[in-house]
Amino acid sequence: MIPAEAGRPSLADTLRADARTAAKPQLAVVGATGAVGSVLLGILSERADIWGEIRLIASPRSAGRKLTVRGAEVEVVALSEEAFDGIDVAMFDVPDEVSAQWVPVAVSKGAVVIDNAGTFRLDPDVPLVVPEVNAHAARVRPRGIIASPNCTTLSMIVALGALHAEYGLSELIVSSYQAVSGVGKAGVDTLRAQLSAVSGTELGTTPGDVRRAVGDTLGPFPAPIALNVVPWAGSLQEDGWSSEELKIRDESRKILGLPELPVTATCVRVPVITTHSLTVHARFENEVTVGGAHEILAAAPGVVLSDDPAEGEYPTPADVVGTDPTWVGRVRRSLDDPRALELFVCGDNLRKGAALNTAQVGELVAAELQG
Ligand SMILES: NC(=O)c1ccc[n+]([C@@H]2O[C@H](COP(=O)([O-])OP(=O)(O)OC[C@H]3O[C@@H](n4cnc5c(N)ncnc54)[C@H](OP(=O)(O)O)[C@@H]3O)[C@@H](O)[C@H]2O)c1
């Protein structure tokens, strides 16, 4: 046996450590430089270290950049077929069209893909997974793909799943107050640029004064987002609905296994950097009480109840940002309907709304691959 020098691991220790690393699944993060990808690298660094190599992939524009994950600098490689050599699990955080082209390539190279884009979410052969609600679905993946829901659905569904398990959900009406990072880095850059254009002014008192001040810096938004709210998120669909509103409907139905659930959503963009909020009117099969809902929410994994209006206690994006759980407050029984609850819900759209859910699904897959 080769003895260890003081302070240095012995050869045997090194070989054992290498063997452990070899047994761990190899992970690729595709879109590592983006809004979701950057948060994912932080989350992978904080959670249990279950991965062997973590390979960072982005567009050729970012190849050669160095990013930190698990305390070490890792060089970003350009997306290519070879980039998936030896990869067991690939987490995709890229635009829809990139995911449509490259997810099948990663699967063909033997990787299980967890995709954050909208591309495969409604494919009947692709499970749409939120571990607190339907972890079992992750095991059945005929296409080798697991989808992660959109950030607005994810910001409420853990709390709703817990209430549904007890009371049986029969109808959902929601309005969202969505942060600008929901459209990626471009959204954040736009709000910050507009905030500097209006800061220190008396703007917001006459029609169009804010619009004139921000000029042609609307970025990905159809109207000024500083000092404003914009009743639009996503692209225009049939009959005036937005894509984001339809995603909430379709994805909630799929995750909860309620294909006929009546769902109505109105999506609104607000000048918040990160953390989506929603008002929720949820109707159930059974009568509800505020006390009962409090008990369910307080005990639900991944949910924090923050509901004491007399003390000014309710969640707001400014306090919730950077945290993992879904925060719920303003719990009331509807005045005219003993089967309905009104809630205000906040969730960090980049953490549980995207990167954290992906990491949690990855942990389910890794356990399965190793088990
Ligand atoms: N933001 C949210 O709250 C949220 C929540 C849930 C799901 N999602 C979904 O997650 C995905 C990523 O969103 P994001 O907000 O992180 O977007 P983002 O900030 O714009 O980042 C996009 C990422 O994709 C990479 N990329 C773009 N084109 C590429 C190409 N042709 N080849 C390889 N890589 C390419 C970018 O690399 P470069 O830096 O090299 O360009 C970057 O890493 C989207 O599908 C989005 O719908 C977002």
Q: Could you tell me if 153 and 252 are in contact, meaning their C-beta atoms sit under 8 angstroms apart?
A: yes
Report the C-alpha gap between 56 and 45 in whole angstroms: 13
Q: How far apart are CA 79 and CA 59, in angstroms?
A: 6
33 is in an annotated binding site: yes
Domain ranges across the chain:
11-119, 153-349
Class of domain 11-119: alpha beta
Q: Ligand 1 in contact with 89 (CB < 6 A)?
A: no
What's the rounded Cα separation, in Å, for the pair 97 and 105? 13
Residue of minimum CA distance from atom 21 in ligand 1: 34
Would you state the pLDDT for residue 280? Answer: 98
202 C-alpha to ligand 1 centroid (Å): 36
Residue 116 is which amino acid?
N
Superfamily, domain 153-349:
Dihydrodipicolinate Reductase; domain 2 (3.30.360.10)
39 CB near ligand 1 (under 6 Å)? no
From residue 245, alpha-carbon distances to 30, 224, 251 in Å are 27, 21, 10
For the Cβ of 60 lying below 6 angstroms from any atom of ligand 1, the answer is: no
Cβ-contact 347, 291 below 8 angstroms:
no
Q: Which long-range contacts (CB under 8 A, 24 or more apart) does 259-264 make?
A: 261/169, 261/170, 261/171, 261/172, 262/170, 262/171, 262/172, 263/171, 263/172, 263/173, 263/174, 264/172, 264/173, 264/174
What local confidence, expressed as pLDDT, does residue 21 receive? 52
- Residue with CA nearest ligand 1 atom 14: 184
Whether 105 lines ligand 1, by a CB cut-off of 6 Å, is no
What is the full per-residue pLDDT of the chain (371 aa) written as tens digits? Answer: 444 445 566 666 655 555 555 589 999 999 999 999 999 999 999 999 999 999 999 999 999 999 999 999 999 999 999 999 999 999 999 999 999 999 999 999 999 999 999 999 999 999 999 999 999 999 999 999 999 999 999 999 999 999 999 999 999 999 999 999 999 999 999 999 999 999 988 999 999 999 999 998 999 999 999 999 999 999 999 999 999 999 999 999 999 999 999 999 999 999 999 999 999 999 999 999 999 999 999 999 999 999 999 999 999 999 999 999 999 999 999 999 999 999 999 999 999 999 999 999 999 999 999 88
Q: How far apart are CA 332 and CA 322, in angstroms?
A: 27
Q: Model pTM?
A: 0.92
Of 41, 76, 79, 93, the residue with max ligand 1 atoms within 8 A of its CB, to mutate for a pocket test, comes to 93
What does the longest C-alpha to C-alpha distance in the chain come to? 81
**Res 17: pLDDT:** 55
pLDDT of the residue at 201: 87
